[in-house]
Every structure is written in structure tokens, then in C-alpha cells.
Amino acid sequence: MKQSKFALVAAICATGVLLTGCETTNSIPYKASASNVIAIQQSLQSKKVSVSDVGMAPGVDESPLCRLMGPVKVAPGKTLSQYIKDAFQEELLMAQAYDVKGAPIQGRIEELSFSSVSPAYWQITMAVQSPADKGYKVSVKYPFDTSFTAMGACKNVADAFGPAVQELLKQVVTNPQFPKLSGK
């Protein structure tokens, strides 16, 4: 009788470990930042641009794992680079500075990592350029609160990605070289 209770408890624990090990986390949808929109409007002054691509540099992990919970998913069906590209386009659209025929800005993620233990942060470095200008690099280390549990900590990692991208894009659009990317 004692052995069967032990076997049942062991089976339940093993099932819990297997299920927990396969979980993924999803963040909240991106929302354009009012300060970024204003910075774009002031910087480009009615010039129009587009976002041709945001890719990953060789060796940058597009699907980082969080503890034993699995990969951090920032939006259903989107990679991290797609999320950043869509966020950049949303900022430009909200600023009325996006045009498919505008100067194409290209982004390249050169560093993308996070820490889910204290001090928790996202570290993102991106280079931007266009045919009109060789461009520049920006980097952000965005801090956020963490949790002792893997589930809580990994949810915080995913939830902090959107604000980290907002801060990254703020560094892009407030850079004095940003208007040169428009080529006009």
C-alpha cells in the first residue's frame, strides 16, 4: 500500500515537471509610445520612411529559453525580430511618418538577451541604416521585476519585452542621426 501511494505521488510529480518544462510565455501586445511618436514627428518633419527589415545578426538567438519553461514567445506567431519590426512600423504609422515608398530603414539586432534573476533585465542592441545613411547603433538595458518561481519570472520576462522595445525605439528615434535615414 505504501509503495502504491509513493508511485502515485511520483507519477503526479513527474507529470507536473513534464508539463511545466514545456510551457511557453506570451507578452502583451505592443502599444506605440506617445513620446516616441512625438519624437518621430519632430525629427522627420513630414518626411516619410518605411521599415524594410529587422533581422538578427549571426549568433543572436531568435528563441531564447527562460529557465525550464521553454522559449519566451513575445506574440503568438511572431518572432522577436518580427515583433520589433512591427513595433517600429506602428510607431511610424502613429506619427504619420510611414510610407511604403519612403526611405527604407533596415534594422539588425546585434544583441538580444535577458536575465530572469535579480537584477532582471532585457539587453537589446540594434543597428539601423538606410540607403541614404550608414546609420548607427543603439542599446538598451531595460530592468524589470522578477519572481522566485519560474512561471512568474518568465511571465515577467515576456511582459517586459514590449516596454524594452519601446525604450529601444526611443533610442533609435531620438538619436541625432535619425533624420539622416530619411535621405531628404
How far apart CA 158 and CA 164 sit, in angstroms, is 10
How far apart CA 75 and CA 121 sit, in angstroms, is 19
Query: What's the pLDDT score for residue 63?
Result: 84
Domain-located, residue 19: no
Domain-located, residue 62: yes
Domain-located, residue 54: yes
Domain-located, residue 33: yes
Domain-located, residue 75: yes
Q: How far is CA 96 from the centre of its chain?
A: 23
Domain-located, residue 44: yes
Other C-beta atoms lying within 10 Å of the C-beta of residue 126: 26
Query: What's the pLDDT score for residue 53?
Result: 94
Query: What's the pLDDT score for residue 18?
Result: 40
Domain-located, residue 5: no
Q: How many domains does the chain have?
A: 1
As beta bridge partners, residue 111 has 125
Query: What's the pLDDT score for residue 27?
Result: 56
Query: What's the pLDDT score for residue 62?
Result: 86
Q: How far is CA 114 from the centre of its chain?
A: 10
Query: What's the pLDDT score for residue 81?
Result: 94
Domain-located, residue 55: yes
Q: Provide the 8-state DSSP code for 35.
A: H
How far apart CA 171 and CA 165 sit, in angstroms, is 10
How far apart CA 1 and CA 73 sit, in angstroms, is 44
Q: Which CATH number belongs to the domain containing residue 118 in this structure?
A: 3.30.160
For 85, list phi and psi in degrees, rounded to 5.
-60, -45
pLDDT truncated to tens, each residue of the chain (184 aa)? 555 544 444 444 444 444 444 444 555 788 999 999 999 999 999 899 999 999 999 999 988 888 777 888 878 788 999 999 999 999 999 999 999 999 999 999 999 999 999 999 999 999 999 999 999 999 999 999 998 898 899 999 999 999 999 999 999 999 999 999 998 6
Burial 9-18 (b: 16+ CB within 10 A, else e): eeeeeeeeee
Question: Which residue segment(s) compose the domain that 106 sits in?
Answer: 25-182
Let me know the angle formed at the C-alpha of 123 by 121 and 129, rounded to the nearest 5 degrees: 150
Other C-beta atoms lying within 10 Å of the C-beta of residue 135: 21
